[in-house]
Amino acid sequence: MVGPADVDRLARSMLALLGHDDDEHPTATREATGTWSKAPDFASDPERAAAVKEASARDRERYLTAGLTPVDCRFCHVTVAVKKLGAGHTAVQWSSEATQRCATFAEVRANGGDSSRSKSCPRLSDSIRHAVAEGCLEEQSSAPSPGDG
């Protein structure tokens, strides 16, 4: 029977085979040391820590918003962020406010349903098609994917 120690030995031998050693992957856990981090915190270099924090914030913002265009619903006037990824796929980011103000979702909630389980808002879908027809939204986004930047 294979036990946890066997699995650990196998994993360490595979890492050694690939040129990694234990110094690169400390075995201490969060419970054992009280802290854990995937990356150094640069506590000894505050300037570098600030630069890393700023770059991370920019990367996060780019990842969350790359290629998104604000689109207003022509019916209830909520604004959502939209990116057309092709004819059959549209990414829509709803804010909490837009979800609460959407007339279709409000109707679902009023009837005892859960609006978060709704596939989409048909009125917003019409507004997105209208935005494409008006040239306000690309039919297929030309923005690079967030990881390519």
pLDDT in tens, 91-129: 899 999 999 999 999 999 999 998 888 888 999 999 999
What are 145's two structure tokens? Answer: 């994917």
What are the domain boundaries of the chain? 67-148
Q: What is the pTM of this model?
A: 0.59
28: tokens are 């201490």
Closest CA to 100 of 121, 85, 86: 121
- What average pLDDT does the segment 7-12 reach? 77
So what's the pLDDT on residue 86?
A: 83
Tracing tokens 């640069």 back to the chain, one arrives at 42
**Helix, strand, coil % (nearest 5) of the chain?**
50, 10, 40
pLDDT band at 142 (very low <50, low <70, confident <90, very high): confident
Cα angle value 15/16/21 (rounded, 5°): 85
Phi, psi of 136 (to 5 degrees): -80, -15
Residue 73 has pLDDT above 90, yes or no: yes
CA distances, 40 to each of 9, 35, 43, 57, 89 (Å): 27, 12, 8, 16, 39
Q: Which residues share a beta bridge with 129?
A: none
Tell me how far apart the alpha carbons of residues 53 and 73 are, in angstroms, rounded to a whole number.
Answer: 36
Q: For residue 84, which phi and psi values (nearest 5 degrees)?
A: -85, 120
